[in-house]
Amino acid sequence: MSDRRTGILTAATRVIARRGVRGLRMGELATEAGVSIALIYYHFTDRAGVLRQTLEHISDRADHYTTEDRPAPGRSGDPRAELEQVLLLELQDTAEVRENSIAWGELRATAVFDPDLREELARSTHSWVHDVADLLARADPTGTAPAHAAAAERLTALVEGLSVRWHSGSLPVEQARRLLRDAVRAELEHPPG
């Protein structure tokens, strides 16, 4: 992906995190990215293209910050700690994670009304759930694939819900992180029967 294109998508993430999807205006995006409106349309065709590609960009950024300090699969001495770490990295109080999280929530809410965005969101969510299910399988090798998939759905949905509560001011981030740790422990020690 070109540097300009990446810069536009990073700017779109910031604008969405600041103003919401409804507040995303191409003029403001162009100013934020330091490019012309024409260049945005050249790269993305229309507003819907900007939204779809921003969702992909957010997913790529999340992949980066949840894997950059993580050992290669199978190299960690403690798969349970690795699972917990990957999920907790989604609740970091940093500008990048806050932007990503807020923009993800905004795009998820918009997808309710936008079938094209819904498909892209479903693909991204499926990939995330699959990655978490793989981590669960390493942490709980005696469990079944369907049980790991169900637990991954619960844990990723919990991360999204905790994130919304954190960003809306109804839950401090440290409490959200404690609740997530408790949920990981419950999934691994007392899986639903």
pLDDT in tens, 87-113: 999 999 999 999 999 999 999 999 999
Q: What is the biggest distance separating any 2 CA atoms in the chain, rounded to whole angstroms?
A: 56
Predicted local confidence at residue 155, as pLDDT: 98
pLDDT digits (tens, 9 = 90+) for 158-177: 999 999 999 999 999 999 99
Cα separation, 98 vs 16, in Å, equals: 11
169: alpha, beta or left? (left if phi > 0; alpha if psi -120 to 50): left
Look at residue 75 and tell me whether its pLDDT is greater than 60: no
pLDDT digits (tens, 9 = 90+) for 129-145: 999 999 999 999 999 99
Cα separation, 14 vs 68, in Å, equals: 22
Query: Which residues 6+ apart lie within 8 Å of 151 measured at CB?
Result: 133, 136, 143, 187, 191
Q: Where are the beta strands (DSSP E) in the chain?
A: none
Predicted local confidence at residue 2, as pLDDT: 79
The closest alpha carbon to 87, from 178, 191, 189, 193, belongs to 178
Predicted local confidence at residue 76, as pLDDT: 55
151: how many CB neighbours lie within 10 A of its CB?
Answer: 26
Look at residue 71 and tell me whether its pLDDT is greater than 70: no
